[in-house]
Amino acid sequence: MKGIINKGIQEFVESQFGPEAWSEVQTRAGCTEPFFAVSEDYPDQMTLDLVAAGAAVAGIPEYEVMVAYGRWLVPNTLKAHYDTYYRLAGATPRQFLLNINRVHDQVTRSMANAAPPRFEYCDLEGGGLRITYTSERHLCPVLRGLILGVGDLFGQELAVAKTACYHDGDPHCVMEVSFP
């Protein structure tokens, strides 16, 4: 997993629960990294351990932590580090979501071993969007949060409905997004 993800977890925990909570998360996760380099590779298990520890420290289920983290990540950590790409992604939540593959391609172009998720899109009646998510990591709850975070970035409340999920035995995760 790229360091930007773990850096985002750290910033999320510190902003929501305080620096002491981050220290406890690191201890519980067995993470001794003094900082996370944005484009460096870190073991996927480290990221999952940080999420599990964050949920334990916050006293809420991992799923809820992952959604909240994804929602927070878009207008905070990712925007701070990839603002140029954000400006290229689009002027509306719909345009932004439709350009996620392009943004991933640009951001990871010079990153060795990058394995970003891929997305396929289908227009829905009423202006909605069906997003099919393919990733070996199966971080569907984070995707749900990221979609909501894109809405937050544009000051719009988006509705997200999961219609298929890796965790339910489906070959992909599929989410349907409604725009205001």
Q: Residue 112's pLDDT is what?
A: 63
Would you kindly state where each structural domain of the chain is located, as residue ranges?
Answer: 90-180
pLDDT, block means (10 residues), the chain with 180 residues: 92 96 98 92 94 96 96 93 81 94 72 78 96 93 96 97 95 95
What CATH number does the domain located at 90-180 have? 3.90.1520.10
Q: Are the beta carbons of 76 and 35 closer than 8 angstroms?
A: no
* Residue burial 90-101, b: 16+ Cβ < 10 Å; e: rest: beebbebbbbbe
Neighbours of 158 (CB within 10 A): 20
Q: Give SS3 for 24.
A: helix
Q: What's the pTM?
A: 0.92
CA distance linking residue 10 with residue 38, whole number of Å: 12
The pLDDT of residue 85 is 77
What's the DSSP call for residue 152?
H
CA–CA gap between residue 114 and residue 104 (Å, rounded): 9
pLDDT confidence of residue 27: 98
Can you tell me the distance from the alpha carbon of 175 to that of 172, in angstroms, rounded to the nearest whole number?
Answer: 10
pLDDT at 107: 61
